Amino acid sequence: MQNLEKLYWLVNSMTRNEKRYFTQHTNLYSSTKKPDYLVLFDLISKHKDSNLEELKESVKQQNLEYLSLKMKYLYTTILKVLTNYKKSTNKLIKLHDQFQQVLILEGKGLLEDALVLLQKIKKVAEETENYPFLYQTTQKEMEVLTLLSHGRPSPELFEHSLNRIKMFDIIQNMNNYQRLSHKIEIIINGAESEEDLQEKATQFQENQVLLSDPKQALSKMALAKYYHLYSVIYYLKKEYEKMFISTEKAINLIEIEIFSPTFIFNLFQNYFVAYIHSPQRNIQEFPKYLTQLAQLEFGEEQYAAIQNTLLIGFQIEYFLRFKQPSVQEVENLLKAFENFYKKYYQYLYWIRKKLLFFDIIDFCIAFKKHDIAQDWLNHLCVLPKIKDLSNMEKLTLKFLQTILYYEQQVPSLFEREVRGINYFISKNKIEHPFALNVQQLFQELVKRKKDNLLVLKKHQAILKPLNTRFSDSLWQFNFVLKWLNHKVT
């Protein structure tokens, strides 16, 4: 029942208002007896457990005929109804809907009405700098004007041609900045070393005319991309204060209706990275930047989930790096995380779930919330995608579990986990220097029943200069160092 799983996630992503609108809309076109597809909708809507086996059994008990067809019909109907519902709040959906009306009017020969509607669409597209859609609209406007003038030259066509040329220049300009973004991604992926990356970033900056002056940008979006490109360049060159200033300039241009949520989130991620690495920044001002991100309203649960993921992640990093939180601040963050996860769990992709779990477990260990860390580690380990972890990520989980057993003072489980680590490292031929030294640390803690402080201090000194990162993952081993720092101070 693959279609049932897709339906489950779609139905449970709907807000209460969306479900009410769907029910009211479909009931208008239903007979006295409730149609099978609505019976199916009610079953799925009431099922809150992400374990779908019970839901499958409940569906089977309904004995619905042509179930596969009805699931597809329900899926399509939900999307159609939600599209209609979103017209009032989503300008892009409304523009596309109005453009379809233009095509209908054009097809029926009502060209002047079509032209009036096209001009309304153009105005909104210009205000929101939606240039791809503006291109499509002006192309259709040209066709309608040509039909109205029977192909003969007219003042309206002349003025329209001038405006189209100007608009094409703006679109081309924005595309050129987007092309530069792709080029810098190629540089990042193709660099052979950190020194090579810095050198290529400098050459890239010097050789691009579009990066010579912000006046090269012909629109607000292009200007934001200009500053964003400089933010990335300065990051690669490790010039964090300049990175901060460039990112701040881009963020100050933010308008929800113009910028995509993904672009905005990228800006705030750069902002945070620049902030924590820039020695000139006043760390006491950091909370106001969290507030700035929190005040943005994207109108969709998917984007609200990413927004809250960033907010919690930034707060965790802020406490781990700069500020010793009070007991109440720790409790507040843990409660906020729990509420966030319950609300947005279904909207999070695996890579974000994985990173968020790692952050909260790291936070709990750092501030002695070992039982809560164990709960979230257990939660992470039963997620379906856990089997897709790399060997280094699996080893990371083993290190986390070993630390928790040590803190919970369960010697038998601690020793068992250490034996498991020894076998895992040997079997998978892991040669990461930091990982091998952590293995040695745990082995010494097993052998030494007292005076562990000496062992911890010795390995803290050994591990401190070593690289905690490993390839193909956003996880790293720095939590071990944080744990050791806490233990020896």
% of the chain residues with pLDDT over 70: 95
Q: Measure the CA–CA gap between 150 and 70, rounded to whole angstroms.
A: 49
Residue 49's alpha-carbon distances to 9, 12, 43, 411, in angstroms, are 11, 10, 12, 36
DSSP per residue over 9-29, as a string?
HHHHHS-HHHHHHHHHHHHTT
Asked whether residue 145 carries a pLDDT value surpassing 60, the answer given is yes
Q: Which of 36, 53, 86 is the last residue of a domain?
A: 86
Among candidates 215, 273, 274, which has minimal Cα distance to 244? 274
Q: Are residues 131 and 73 in the same domain?
A: no
Closest CA to 321 of 356, 374, 357, 275: 275
Would 46 be classed as within a structural domain?
yes
Mean pLDDT of the chain: 86
Residues 449 and 421 in one domain: yes
Boundary of a domain, candidates 152, 177, 194: 152
pLDDT value at position 328? Answer: 94
DSSP structure class, residue 35:
P
Number of domains in the chain: 3
Q: Average pLDDT in the 419-424 region? A: 96
Place of tokens 């153009």: 122
Question: How high is the pLDDT of residue 50?
Answer: 62
The answer as to whether 127 is a domain residue is yes
My answer on whether 443 and 488 are in the same domain is yes
Phi–psi pair at 326, nearest 5 degrees: -75, 165
- Domain of 112, in residue numbers: 91-152
14 and 49 together in one domain: yes
Q: Does pLDDT of 331 surpass 70?
A: yes
Between CA 418 and CA 428 the distance in angstroms is 15
Does 465 fall in a domain? yes
The whole-number average pLDDT for the span 59-74 is 78
Residues 100 and 12 grouped into a single domain:
no
Q: Are residues 20 and 75 in the same domain?
A: yes
Q: Exposed e or buried b for every residue in 458-481, given b needs 16+ CB within 10 A?
A: ebbebbeeeebebeebebbbebbb
pLDDT band at 484 (very low <50, low <70, confident <90, very high): very high
Question: Tokens 């990173």 — which residue?
Answer: 355
Task: Identify whether 339 is part of a domain.
Answer: no
Is residue 103 in a domain?
Answer: yes
Say if residue 39 is in the same domain as residue 74: yes
Residue 198 inside a domain? The answer is no
Give a yes or no: residue 201 inside a domain.
Answer: no
Q: Looking at 135, 152, 169, which one is the last position of a domain?
A: 152
The reported pLDDT for the residue numbered 32 is: 65
Q: Within 10 A of 118 (CB to CB), how many other CB atoms are there?
A: 24
Nearby residues of 96 by Cβ (< 8 Å), 6 or more positions away: 133
Handedness of CA 248, 253, 255, 256 (dihedral sign): negative
Q: Are residues 10 and 69 in the same domain?
A: yes
Query: Are 31 and 117 members of one domain?
Result: no
Judgement on whether residues 402 and 474 belong to the same structural domain of the protein: yes
Q: What tens digit of pLDDT does each residue of 452-480 get?
A: 888 999 999 999 999 998 887 889 999 99
Per-residue confidence at 2, pLDDT binned at 50, 70, 90? Answer: low
> Are residues 27 and 7 part of one domain?
yes
328 burial type by CB count under 10 A (0-12 exposed, 13-18 middle, 19+ buried):
exposed
CA distances from 121 to 117, 124, 126, 288, 388 (A): 6, 5, 9, 37, 46
| pLDDT at res. 272 | 87
Place of tokens 């930047």: 289
pLDDT (tens digit, 9 = 90+) per residue, 383-399? 878 888 999 999 999 99
Q: Could you tell me if 400 and 431 lie in one domain?
A: yes
Distance CA 28, CA 443 (A): 70
11 within a domain of the structure (yes/no): yes
pTM to 2 decimals? 0.74
